[in-house]
Amino acid sequence: MKAKGKGVQVVLVLGTDLTAGAEGHDAVNITLPWGQVQLVEAVTAAASKPVVVVMMTHIPLDLTELIANKKIGAIIHACQ
């Protein structure tokens, strides 16, 4: 994966949909679903600037790996 252009600011939107948990259907786990950790690793490795992550989720998620990633400049929780 290569970031196109010099100094491109990347905004990466991650999260869950209602299959992860909903009223009457509790979340089974709190990890980022569906290969999103691998996507973060690939995008941050290719980015020349710190990546901004926007979380769209209605359940609490474990963001430990995102917080530990030195290439992530900000995490915004925008709900869902």
> Is pLDDT larger for residue 76 or for residue 4?
76
Bridge partners of residue 76, in order along the sequence: 54
Handedness of CA 63, 65, 68, 70 (dihedral sign): negative
Measured distance CA(77)–CA(56) in Å, rounded: 6
Q: How far apart are the first and last CA of the chain?
A: 28
Give me the count of residues in the chain: 80
What is the pTM for the complete model shown?
A: 0.83
On the question of pLDDT at 42 being above 80, the answer is: yes
CB 42 within 8 A of CB 1: yes
> Could you state, in order of their start, the residue ranges of all structural domains in the chain?
11-77
Predicted local confidence at residue 70, as pLDDT: 96
